[in-house]
Structure 1
Amino acid sequence: MSEYLFTSESVSEGHPDKVADRVSDAIVDLYFSKDPQSRVAVETLVTTNRIVLAGEVRCAHDVTHDEIENAARAAVKSIGYEQDGFHWETAVLHNYIHAQSADIAMGVDNSADKQGEEGAGDQGIMFGYACNETEHLMPAPIAYSHEILEKLAAVRHGGDRRLEPDSKSQVTLKYKDGYPVGATSVVVSTQHAEGVTQAELKALVKDIVTEVLPEGWMPSDDELYVNPTGQFIIGGPDGDTGLTGRKIIVDTYGGAAPHGGGAFSGKDPTKVDRSAAYAARYLAKNVVAAGIADNCTIQLSYAIGVAKPLSVYVDLWGKVKVDSAKVSKALQELMDLSPTGIRTHLGLNKPIYERTAAYGHFGRLPDADGGFSWEKTDLTTALKAKLSL
């Protein structure tokens, strides 16, 4: 279609599922702070005054139950939960984390591919995507949905006692000839303290949305929906159970690109669900940043215990300056896409994961300590040289 509407949503760090993601990734970071070769697969469930941890780990150094509990509680405290129904200090915590399966360890560590390389931690398909709709080469609807909630959280962390941690956003943009030209509606639901009027909240949200959207993109006032149910006092894990890994579209591209199905949070980077999705984003972003295409989708696939990817698929969406097969070949020459190669190239064996748990794993700024390394565009010069551009 030459004209269409497209919608994406985001959820805040205080959404129950994101609380679970944050706790799981805090535990990943705890293990990596002890041993860069740690193996971690931890799931979290949060509900009314309960935090339940389960999963499999392996580490060269002891990690005590107290350290795990302290990491979980610190994550919840940082989000800001001090409610009667969910409090970082008083919630009951159940820890069912145990040693990693010997069968999984064998598949990853014992050179199942017979080439002396570490095998993938699981089978699966992973997708990466980039486009030139925004500065950080992300689809605009998810980028603006994230930014609205980040700014709302900044107001709350800045001391606005009217706001509580749980919130959601949704942005619908109008596209013409493949590019966004304006917003037709915005939805924001934010948990709030008792006694706060919906008029107050709408005024606050309207200021934030106006700041986030490009000039002239603001929808009409009757298309700005703030707490459509009328109030949102009971929220967070007290209002809805949260689980690790339930917000995979929020974590990636807002539905503008395919998703392989595997969640990221709670997993160390031997799990290609996480590391290969990061690698695919990294390569797709470099393709777009190099000016080779306006949009780029990359799919990688793996088998458990096998190091090399089974397939590397590149889609340049038809607007190409170079044949997709040549781009695929060049990318594989520039980056070793084995699990070990990905972790080495992107520096993933570090405690850099808790920060990824909210507001998207992509479209972020690379950090000096190696966080969000997959957002770098440092391959563009070499890529253009290989393609003679």
Structure 2
Amino acid sequence: MYEKVNPAHPDKIADRIAGALVDLAYAQEPDPRIAVEVLLGHHMCHIIVETSTHLSAETVESIAHRIAGNLALNYTEVAQDAHLSDNQRDGFRCGDNGIFKGMCITPEQKELSRIARSIYDRYPTDGKYILDGDRLILCQSNAPADELKALFPQAEVNPLGDWTGGPDVDSGATNRKLGSDMADGVTGGGPHGKDLSKADVSVNVYAFLKAQETGKAVELCCAIGDDTVDGRPYAEIVEICREYIHSVGGFEKFAEWGLV
């Protein structure tokens, strides 16, 4: 049983804005320290950023409008806590406490991810999907139900009828769709809107990649300041994650679909 949402879902719009701001920070510094929280909906977007590099309000507004449409913006920027910044002064050390789990992607998860992407390619509007054995449920705003039925005759399409979807009728928040992004690997830390020093990003991605490589579940824990995780230098784990994020096109692209 698995649920997937697409990049136009309000929660994913929030993740994408957060990811785009992290991309912006990396364009300004090789290794910024940044954490972004986004809450949007009903013609309003609230963004709070803790950052080591200043992001201009005009650029932040442009990014939010590009991804979410013409929402009013409330932007707050503050410097990252000095104690947390000092933790990284002499090189990468674990930026947070955490328990992390990497799980192999199942055939069911792969199939629903494929279905979700194929629908979004045709109808790039808010959508959410569930696959439970032979039961397929498709909720896709602004897409003709008869066309979806023709594509997936076995599916239940918009069970309560047509719906509008999007941030004008719903709210979205950063890291609220971890089940969609991480499947069975869900833990307490969300991977979006943060730089690579944060364990929520690097250790989550590392555990996921290790599970796919070994075919076994991976469970890891770490504490703020650790310089080693899973017997490897934390700096090495950061570089593994950096390469992965680069391979998918950056933090904004990573936020579109997550790890699955």
Using the size of structure 2 for normalisation, the TM-score is 0.91
Equivalent position to 1:186, from 132, 136, 156? 136
Q: Is the 8 A contact 2:206 2:240 kept in 1?
A: no
Q: Is the 8 A contact 1:38 1:58 kept in 2?
A: yes
The CA RMSD over aligned residues, in Å, is 2.0
Equivalent residue for 2:23?
29
Residue pairs, 1:85-104, within 5 angstroms: 88=69, 90-104=70-84
| Code of the aligned partner of 1:65 | A
SS at match of 1:192: coil
SS at match of 1:204: helix
Match status 1:281 vs 2:212: no
Q: For 1:342 and 1:103, locate their aligned partners in 2 and report how far apart those are by CA, in whole Å.
A: 22
Gaps of 5+ in 2: none
Q: For 1:97 and 1:142, locate their aligned partners in 2 and report how far apart those are by CA, in whole Å.
A: 37
Q: Is the 8 A contact 1:148 1:209 kept in 2?
A: no
Match status 1:205 vs 2:148: yes
Equivalent position to 1:301, from 212, 221, 226? 221
Equivalent position to 2:65, from 73, 85, 92? 73
Residue pairs, 1:224-243, within 5 angstroms: 224-233=155-164, 235-243=165-173
Equivalent residue for 1:378?
none
| Code of the aligned partner of 1:353 | F
Superposition deviation, residue 144 in structure 1: 2.2
SS at match of 1:301: strand
Equivalent residue for 1:343?
238
Q: Is the 8 A contact 1:44 1:53 kept in 2?
A: yes
Q: Is the 8 A contact 2:226 2:234 kept in 1?
A: no
Q: Is the 8 A contact 1:151 1:208 kept in 2?
A: no
Q: What whole-Å deviation, never above 9, does each CA across 1:11-53 have from its counterpart, x for those lacking one?
A: 1111111111111001011111111211110010111111110
SS at match of 2:236: helix
Superposition deviation, residue 285 in structure 1: 1.4
Equivalent residue for 1:244?
174
Q: Percent identity?
A: 26
Residue pairs, 1:136-155, within 5 angstroms: 138-155=105-122
Q: Is the 8 A contact 1:42 1:97 kept in 2?
A: no
Match status 1:170 vs 2:130: yes
Match status 1:17 vs 2:38: no
Equivalent residue for 2:103?
129
| Code of the aligned partner of 2:89 | D
Q: Is the 8 A contact 1:123 1:302 kept in 2?
A: yes
SS at match of 1:347: helix
Q: For 1:258 and 1:346, locate their aligned partners in 2 and report how far apart those are by CA, in whole Å.
A: 16
Q: Is the 8 A contact 1:108 1:304 kept in 2?
A: no
Q: What whole-Å deviation, never above 9, does each CA across 1:339-386 have from its counterpart, x for those lacking one?
A: 311122343586711111122324xxxxxxxxxxxxxxxxxxxxxxxx
Q: What whole-Å deviation, never above 9, does each CA across 1:58-113 have from its counterpart, x for those lacking one?
A: 12xx431111221222223xxxxxxxxxxx1x310110122111121122325xxx
Superposition deviation, residue 258 in structure 1: 4.4
| Code of the aligned partner of 2:254 | T
Equivalent residue for 1:358?
256
| Code of the aligned partner of 1:276 | V
Q: Is the 8 A contact 1:248 1:261 kept in 2?
A: no
Q: What whole-Å deviation, never above 9, does each CA across 1:177-200 have from its counterpart, x for those lacking one?
A: xxxxxxx2100011117xxxxxx4
Q: For 1:94 and 1:11, locate their aligned partners in 2 and report how far apart those are by CA, in whole Å.
A: 26
Superposition deviation, residue 145 in structure 1: 2.2
Q: For 2:109 and 2:72, locate their aligned partners in 1 and report how far apart those are by CA, in whole Å.
A: 34
Equivalent residue for 1:57?
51
Q: For 2:56 and 2:97, locate their aligned partners in 1 and report how far apart those are by CA, in whole Å.
A: 31
Q: What whole-Å deviation, never above 9, does each CA across 1:239-275 have from its counterpart, x for those lacking one?
A: 211100111111112xxx3422111110111111110
Q: For 1:345 and 1:258, locate their aligned partners in 2 and report how far apart those are by CA, in whole Å.
A: 18
Q: Which has the higher helix share?
A: 2
| Code of the aligned partner of 2:64 | A
Superposition deviation, residue 146 in structure 1: 2.2
